[in-house]
Each structure stands twice: as structure tokens, then as C-alpha cells.
Amino acid sequence: MNVIADFFRYLRFTDGIATSDIIGWVLAAVAGIIAYKLIDNMQTSIERHNMISSIEDGFSSLFDSTIAISDEPHTDLTVSDVENKKVMVRSVMHDDSPWEIIYAKGKPGVLEYKVIRSQRYMHIRNNGMSNEWISTQALHELCLKCRRIEKLFKSGIMKRIDLSDMFRELVPLGASGRIEYISALYDVYDADCLGYIVMQAVVSCEKCRNNSEYINYFAHYYTTHPDIQRYFISGTRIRKIMDYFTVKKFIRIVERRSKLYKDA
């Protein structure tokens, strides 16, 4: 009975109103909602592109900064080296030899560093090929950018295509001793962030059909260094449920690509 009564009240309310007017109001409301969603999506897309562009520009600016030192092999860093041997950060990101965990003499557990010109330089290579240092400013900014990428990706703002496009900045962070060095310099929590971003970038490259040979090199490095694998597949940044299948896919990708690298 209540339904019938409501129906009659509706008829009294609409008495004298043309059906075409009601349909017009409904269509206008639908059109308004669609227009609102289109504008909202456009604004969200612009904001997303601005955020990603800011991160890409930040990486470019960081790698172009001359806050690293590259020299012939020797055992110390001098003011003269800082003045005359400065190179861009990207110059010490090569894979010719891995970063080394070099401890300060007489200071167990303390990594070797030098403070010159208000910059703290960490010793990352000292072998028969090169003697290289990098500023803690560069390392701190690198970790900061990775934490930001992690937040944007987990919140759905950054997409897999974005990680795939940035693979040259992200994937090398997991190779050539860099993640091991970050773990020794800071702690496991920061290294876990790098591992998480690299893992997601590798899976993104696979999904977006990015078949760069460098992914094969990373896969080979990963499979031949079992001591670092926990950073990528069981780190503190990995979500047990939401990232479960991503981790499984990552393991399959690096196993397959490592074989491609060895067979090349």
C-alpha cells in the first residue's frame, strides 16, 4: 500500500509537467556528471604528468651535479682532488666495476669518508681501475626520490608505463654493488625501498615490452648475488597481499632474462 501511495503522490507532484521536461532534466544531470568527470580526469592527468616530470627533472639534475670525484687509484682524497677531479654523479654510476664497501682505517663499522668544502664524500671505489667518491648529498637525494616514487606508485598516481620509461634511472640502483652500499651506509630500510622500486620497474618493463639489454644485465647480477635478493622479494616495503603476484612474476622474469644474458 505504501508503494501505491507514493506512486500517487508522485503523479500529483508531476501533474502538469511534461514528460519531455523530466527527460530533459535527467539528460542534463547526466551530461553535467559526465562533463565533471572529464574535467576532473583532465586535471588529474595534468597533475600526474607534472609530478612525473618533476621527478624526471630531479633525476637529470642530480646526475648532472658535479658532486662526485673520479681519479687514478690512490688512498686519499685531497682539496686539490675536489677542485680538479670533480665529475658528474652519472660518471660514477657505471658498471665497469662495482661500488665497494670501504671501511675507515681504525674505525670498525664506519665507512670511509672525507669532509671537504662542506661536502661529505663517501669512498665507493678504490681498485686497479679507478678511485671514486660520491657526496652524501647525492646519495640522500637518490633515496629521497625513490621514496617519493614508491609513494606515488602505491597510491596509483604513477603507472607501470612511467616506471618502464624511467628504467635507466631506476634499475641500475639494484646492480653493481649500489644497493649493498646503501644498506651499509644507511640501513636495510632504505635499501628495501630501492629494491622495491627496482623490482616494480623490472616487472613494468616486461609488461610494457621494454626489452632493453640492461634488464638482462641486472637479471644476471641479481641471480649471481643471492645475498641481495631479500631486498627485492621480501623487503619491508613489499605488501604481502597486493605485491604477492608481482614478486612471483619478478622472480620468473629475472630467471629467464639471466639465461638470455649468459647465452648472448
Helix (H, G, I), strand (E, B) or coil at 93: coil
pTM of this prediction? 0.82
Mean pLDDT of the chain: 87
- In tens, the pLDDT along 224-255 reads 999 999 999 999 999 999 999 999 999 999 99
Output the CA–CA distances (angstroms, integers) from residue 175 to 18, 44, 45, 221, in the order listed. 71, 34, 33, 6
Gap between the Cα atoms of 125 and 146, Å rounded = 23
The residue extents of the domains of the chain are 55-65+136-263, 68-135
Grid cell locating 183: 644498506
- In tens, the pLDDT along 65-116 reads 999 999 887 767 888 878 888 999 999 999 999 999 999 988 888 999 999 9
Q: Inform me whether the pLDDT recorded for 1 exceeds 60.
A: no
Which contacts qualify for 207-215: CB closer than 8 Å, 24 or more apart?
Answer: 207/160, 207/164, 208/160, 208/161, 208/164, 210/164, 210/167, 212/167, 212/168, 213/261, 213/264, 214/167, 214/168, 214/171, 214/172, 215/167, 215/171, 215/257
